[in-house]
Structure 1
Amino acid sequence: MNTLDNVLIALAVLALVLYRQLRSSPLDERRMYTVPLVLAVVGAAQGGLVDKVHPALSVALLAGEAVAAVGLGALRAITVRLWREDDGRLWRRGTGWTLAAWLTSLAIRAAFIGAGYAAGIKVATGGVLLFLSVTLLVQNLVVGLRARRLGTAGPVSVVP
């Protein structure tokens, strides 16, 4: 796969993720980690994450991207609305702030690509997928943590 293929795959996954995050849906922690883990495996398997001509700068940019991915995933996670229905099921829905945080994530990822390009670093073919996987994984982990803190709904009894 080349970089254009990865960008198209990442955009398709992002479109699906945005569609799913901006509508109400039940929270299923068992399924939340599948897509990020698949993206991580595919991104890492493609190799070329470290530029052989500029390895130190390449690793520094990769580390910066990882830190940004973690921070942006956590930021998006706190913008997600969580609630428990009467039947005890957890639900989630992204807000306008979630969309704004996604746009910020895209802009920051583009800035990292631009910085690497300006420094003469070859763009890693799997870097786009790896960034997306890390940021989605962190977002889902934080949403899961927030959901567990909601506690469980139990029957309410009113004694006159």
Structure 2
Amino acid sequence: MSGPIEIILIVALIGYVLVRRFTGEPVEGKRMLLVPAVIAVVGAVNLREVPHSPAAIGMLVATAVISVVLGVLRGFSVRIYERDGHAMMRYTWVTAVLWVVNIAVKLGSGLLAGAVGLHAGGGITFSLGLTVLAEGVAILAKGVRGTGRIPWSRGRGDAAPVPSPMLDSMQRKARDAGDLRGMRSFAPVLDGLRDAAADRRNAHPGARR
């Protein structure tokens, strides 16, 4: 992929993500996982143009790891809420700051690569796909703990959303685990009430009649 086309793709993707997610959009498995995965694969294919020197590989791995970490942090900074029974998401100011940091890191790594004579190739597209994918995984991990349902994708036209058995199963397990934790946390209260009732009965034996 040529440089100008790659830059246009990156600007378009970032603009699309920022606009939609700052205004709020449904949480969907396909948009969170498939789209960024395709971008990452496109970048990985173009990595064949990168010179396979230790310095180039090291820089690529470092920027990829940083992008994944920042993507996860952004995902957990996103606000998840429910509307009409469906999970919704919206970026916060923390998410915006993390995006600025991510872009600054990418620009800095690009300048450093040029300074030492390395060719970035598809590294920009690859790391961008990774960071958006990591963000999507974190959003889904956060979303399945909520009550709003997460479909795989929206249905076309007036069709119902396409469900995701995997996400539905994860959400049920998260809900069951949450209920179990709630029962365990409430258990000491129940024990205290039971002990108090037993003490009153022992103190007033006639009250049991």
The TM-score bracket by the shorter chain reads 0.7 to 0.9
Higher RCO (CA < 8 A, seq sep 6+): 1
Describe how 1:139-154 pairs up with structure 2 within 5 A: 139-151=135-147
Superposition RMSD in Å: 1.9
User: Which residue, out of 124, 128, 141, partners 2:124?
Assistant: 128
Q: Once the 2 structures are TM-superposed, how far is the Cα of residue 64 of structure 1 from its aligned partner?
A: 0.3
The normalised TM-score by structure 2 is: 0.67
Distance 1:60 1:110 in 2: 17
Residue in 2 that maps onto 1:44: 44
Is the Cα contact below 8 Å between 1:49 and 1:127 reproduced in 2?
no
Greater share of residues in helix? 2
Structure 2 SS opposite 1:114: helix
Describe how 1:93-108 pairs up with structure 2 within 5 A: 93-108=90-105
Distance 1:67 1:103 in 2: 17
Structure 2 SS opposite 1:22: helix
Which amino acid is the alignment partner of residue 91 of structure 2?
G
Q: Once the 2 structures are TM-superposed, how far is the Cα of residue 22 of structure 1 from its aligned partner?
A: 0.7
1:30–1:9 distance in 2 versus 1, CA, 3 Å: closer
Q: Which has the larger radius of gyration?
A: 2
Q: Give unmatched runs, 5+ long, in structure 2.
A: 150-209
Which amino acid is the alignment partner of residue 114 of structure 1?
L
Any runs of at least 4 consecutive aligned residues in structure 1 with deviations exceeding 6 A, and if so which?
none
Q: Once the 2 structures are TM-superposed, how far is the Cα of residue 38 of structure 1 from its aligned partner?
A: 1.6
Instruction: Provide the identity percentage.
Output: 28
Between the two proteins, the alignment pairs up a number of residues equal to 150
Distance 2:148 2:117 in 1: 53
Distance 1:129 1:59 in 2: 15
